[in-house]
Amino acid sequence: MFPRLATWLLIWFGITFPAYPAAKQWPQGTTTRFYDFKIQTTRVNKLCNSNEIVTVNNMFPGPVVYAQEGDRLIIKVTNLSPYNATIHWHGVRQILSCWFDGPSYITQCPITPGQSFTYEFTMVKQRGTFFWHAHVSWLRATVYGALIVYPKAGVPYPFPFPYEEHIIILGEYWSQDIVQLERQVIASGGVPPPANAYTINGHPGPNYNCSTNDVYKIDLVPGKTYLLRLINAGLNTENFFAIANHKLTIVEADAEYTKPFTTDRVMLGPGQTLNVLVKADQPIARYCMAIGPYISARNAQFQNITSVAYFQYSGAVPNSLSLPARLPNINDNLAVKTVMDGLKGLNTKDDVPKEIDATLFLTIGLNVNKCRSPTPQQNCQGMNNGTMAASMNNISFIKPTVSVLESYYKGFEDYFTPDFPSAPLRFYDFVNGAPNSAPNDTNAMNGTRTKVIEYGTRVQIILQDTGTVTTENHPIHLHGYSFYVVGYGSGNYNPQTANLNLVDPPYMNTIGVPVGGWAAIRFKADNPGVWFIHCHFDLHQSWGLATALIVKNGVGHLETLPHPPADLPRC
Ligand code: C2O
C-alpha cells in the first residue's frame, strides 16, 4: 500500500481550506479534506465467476480516506447504483454531527439511486485505524474501505516508527447479488448460505478455485518492522488472523492505543480494528498471512476455507512454497479470551466513570418466532418451522420508515417509541436456563423502541449473551461513542463477583461479548443524537439485534445538535 514517505506527503498536500464561516458550532479542524465517492456497480471476476458488485469509485475495497487528527472531512457521496445506499464512518465519534453518522433509518434515510448526500465531520481527538462502510441492507459486503487518521503533526506514535504500514481488510464475498440475498433470507425465515470466500483486501487467495493469482502480497525488507492496520469488514463471521512464524504485537484496538501485547494470533469480529507491529526477523522466505473463522455458535454453517495472503521477504524465490500459518480451531474460545485479556489501555485513564448514573442491562441473543405466514414452506424455513430472529431484551428492533433522528428532531410521534426497557422483563439463568423449545417459548417481541438518556449521564451497559437457540460471541457496536470495557466474563453477570478494571481498560467501539458470557461497558453520554447499538453481524442486525440510544441535548450550543443539513435525503 502506501510507504511511509508517500503517506506523509499525501497528508501534507491535502487541500487546505479556511475554516467554514457558517459552521461556528462545529469543532474546528486544521485542514479540510474533500473526497468524492461514486457508488456504482462494477463487474469483477472472482472465484470462477463474473459478477456485478457495488463499489465506490470502481474500487474493491474502496478508496482509502486519509486524514489527520483534528481535520474536517467532506465526502460527497453520489449514488449511481440501483440500490439505496448510505455510508457510515465506523468508529468516528461524530461529535455534534450525528446527522452524518450514516446508519439507514437511524440518522438518515437512504440516498436513493441518482441522489447524493455530502457527509461532513471532524476527527475530534481521534486518530488511528477506522473504516467506512455501507449501512443499508447487506451492501457492506462490497462497499467498504479504510479510514486512516494520523496523529497531529509532530506527535509521534507511542511505539517505534515502523518502516512501512499496510492496510489489511478482512471481508466475506458472495458470488451473488447481496441485496437480493438479504431479501431472500429474511423472506425465507431461515439462515443465509455461507460466504463463497473470505477475502484479504478483496482477494480470496490461493486456497479457492480460480484464485491462484487473486492474492494479496506484502513485500518485505528483512529486519524491518511493519505496522499492519487490520480491519474486519466481514458481514457475518468473526475471524482469526495469523502470520506463519511471526509474532504480532498489538499496539492499538478500535483506534485507541493499547499497551503493547505480543501474541501468535488475534481475533477480530466484524467492526473491530487492530494495529499490530510485525518484525521481519525470520529466514528469507514466503510466509502466509491467513484468516479463518471463529465460530462460537452451535450448528452454524460457515465457509471453512481459509483466505491466504503472502508475507514475502525480498530475496525469496517468487513461486516457492509459502510457509503455512497456524490458525486456532474454529471454536477456540481460549484463544479469543487470551487476546482480550491482553488488551489494556496504554495509560491509566482518569476519565473511566467510577460512579454510574444509569445502568442498562441488555440481553443479546437469537430467537425463533412461531410461523405466522400462510405459506410456511416459503417463509418459515427457520428451526422447527419457525422464523429466525434476534433481539435485545427480547425485543427485535424494527427499522422505521422515517429515520429516528429526524422523527425525534421534528417531534413526529408515529415512527418510534421511547420505551425500550432498561432491563429484561425477568431475570433467570440466561446462559444455561434459557427457554429453548423452539418455536414455542423462543419468541421475541417487535418494536422500534428506543432508550432516552439525559445529556451527561454516566452510563453502564451490561451486555449479557443468552442461550436461547444458541450462545454465541456477538460483536456489539455502539455509534457515537467509544466506551471503556471495564469487565467481561463467562456465565451470567453477577455484580457481587464481577471483577472490574477501572484503571486501564481498553477504550473500544465494538466489543465481542464472550460466548455464553457478559461484558460491562461505561461511557459518559455527552454527545447528543440518536446512536445505534447493534450486533455487527449484518444477519443479526437484520433479525433485530439492535436498539437506539437517544442522547438529549445539554445546555448551550456546545451541547446541542445543530440543524440537519439541507441535502439530508428525504424519506
Ligand atoms: Cu460498522 Cu452500525 O456499524
> Rounded mean pLDDT of 168-176?
98
Binning pLDDT at 50, 70 and 90, where does residue 67 land?
very high
Short-list 365, 373, 370, CA closest to 386:
370
Short-list 101, 58, 103, CA closest to 84:
103
Is the separation of the CB atoms in 241 and 308 below 8 Å? Answer: no
Short-list 526, 523, 124, CA closest to 351:
523
In this structure, what C-alpha cell is assigned to residue 213?
493469482
- 38 or 320, which is more confident? 38
Binning pLDDT at 50, 70 and 90, where does residue 15 land?
very low
Centre of ligand 1 from the C-alpha of residue 271, in Å: 7
pLDDT score at 2 = 39
Binning pLDDT at 50, 70 and 90, where does residue 475 land?
very high
For residue 350, how many other CB atoms are within 10 A of its CB? 7
pLDDT score at 430 = 98
In this structure, what C-alpha cell is assigned to residue 53?
458488485
The tens digit of pLDDT for each residue in 381-408 reads 999 999 999 999 999 999 999 999 999 9
In this structure, what C-alpha cell is assigned to residue 266?
488475534
Question: Is the pLDDT reported for residue 195 higher than 70?
Answer: yes
Q: Whose CA is nearest to atom 1 of ligand 1?
A: 90
pLDDT score at 321 = 86
pLDDT score at 28 = 45
pLDDT score at 349 = 84
Contacts of 210 by beta carbon, 8 Å cutoff, 6+ apart: 46, 47, 48
Q: What are the phi and psi torsion angles at 258 (to 5°)?
A: -125, 165
Question: Is the pLDDT reported for residue 16 higher than 50?
Answer: no
CA dist 365 and 386 (Å) reads 16
Centre of ligand 1 from the C-alpha of residue 122, in Å: 18
For residue 90, the ligand 1 atom closest to its alpha carbon is 1
CA dist 223 and 164 (Å) reads 12
The tens digit of pLDDT for each residue in 274-309 reads 999 999 999 999 999 999 999 999 999 999 999 999
According to DSSP, the β-strands at 546-551 and 72-79 are: unpaired
CA dist 285 and 91 (Å) reads 36
Is the separation of the CB atoms in 438 and 374 below 8 Å? Answer: no
**% of the chain surpassing 90 pLDDT:** 93
Beta strand segments in 409-563, E: 445-447, 450-453, 458-465, 474-478, 483-490, 507-508, 510-513, 517-524, 529-535, 546-551
If DSSP codes are grouped into helix, strand and coil, which group holds residue 519?
A: strand
Q: Whose CA is nearest to atom 3 of ligand 1?
A: 90
Contacts of 5 by beta carbon, 8 Å cutoff, 6+ apart: none
Binning pLDDT at 50, 70 and 90, where does residue 1 land?
very low
CA dist 482 and 91 (Å) reads 7
CA dist 144 and 64 (Å) reads 9
> Rounded mean pLDDT of 525-542?
98
Question: Is the pLDDT reported for residue 320 higher than 90?
Answer: no
pLDDT score at 571 = 86
Question: Is the pLDDT reported for residue 36 higher than 70?
Answer: yes
For residue 140, the ligand 1 atom closest to its alpha carbon is 1
Q: What are the phi and psi torsion angles at 327 (to 5°)?
A: -100, 150
For residue 541, the ligand 1 atom closest to its alpha carbon is 2
Lowest mean pLDDT among 25-39, 166-180, 392-406: 25-39
Beta strand segments in 225-299, E: 225-232, 238-243, 248-253, 256-263, 265-268, 273-279, 286-294
pLDDT score at 281 = 98
Centre of ligand 1 from the C-alpha of residue 329, in Å: 27
Question: Is the pLDDT reported for residue 124 higher than 80?
Answer: yes
Short-list 441, 448, 431, CA closest to 368:
441
For 408, the enclosing helix (H) or strand (E) is helix 404-410
Q: b vs e for 239-277, b when ≥16 Cβ sit within 10 Å of the residue's Cβ?
A: bbbbbbbbbbbbbbbbbbbbebbebbbbbbbbbbbbbbb
Q: 3-class secondary structure for 180-202?
A: HHHHHHHHHCCCCCCCCEEEECC
Centre of ligand 1 from the C-alpha of residue 269, in Å: 12
pLDDT score at 351 = 93
Ligand 1 binding pocket, CB closer than 6 Å: 88, 90, 103, 133, 135, 271, 477, 479, 532, 534, 536
For residue 131, the ligand 1 atom closest to its alpha carbon is 1
Centre of ligand 1 from the C-alpha of residue 29, in Å: 24
Q: Read off the pTM.
A: 0.95
For residue 510, the ligand 1 atom closest to its alpha carbon is 1
Question: Is the pLDDT reported for residue 25 higher than 80?
Answer: no
In the chain, the amino acid numbered 493 is: Y
For residue 133, the ligand 1 atom closest to its alpha carbon is 1
In this structure, what C-alpha cell is assigned to residue 339?
487476546
| Plot region of 47 (φ>0 → left; ψ -120 to 50 → alpha; else → beta) | left
If DSSP codes are grouped into helix, strand and coil, which group holds residue 532?
A: strand
Centre of ligand 1 from the C-alpha of residue 21, in Å: 31
CA dist 501 and 523 (Å) reads 14
- 6 or 120, which is more confident? 120
Contacts of 2 by beta carbon, 8 Å cutoff, 6+ apart: 10, 64, 165
Binning pLDDT at 50, 70 and 90, where does residue 139 land?
very high
For residue 534, the ligand 1 atom closest to its alpha carbon is 2
CA dist 414 and 401 (Å) reads 10
Query: DSSP state, 337?
Result: H
Centre of ligand 1 from the C-alpha of residue 412, in Å: 25
Binning pLDDT at 50, 70 and 90, where does residue 506 land?
very high
In the chain, the amino acid numbered 250 is: I
Centre of ligand 1 from the C-alpha of residue 18, in Å: 31
Question: Is the pLDDT reported for residue 444 higher than 90?
Answer: yes
Question: Is the pLDDT reported for residue 72 higher than 90?
Answer: yes
Centre of ligand 1 from the C-alpha of residue 563, in Å: 23
Residue 260 CA, chain-centre distance (Å), reads 22
The tens digit of pLDDT for each residue in 140-171 reads 999 999 999 999 999 999 999 999 999 999 99
Short-list 314, 174, 270, CA closest to 477:
270
Residue 516 CA, chain-centre distance (Å), reads 21
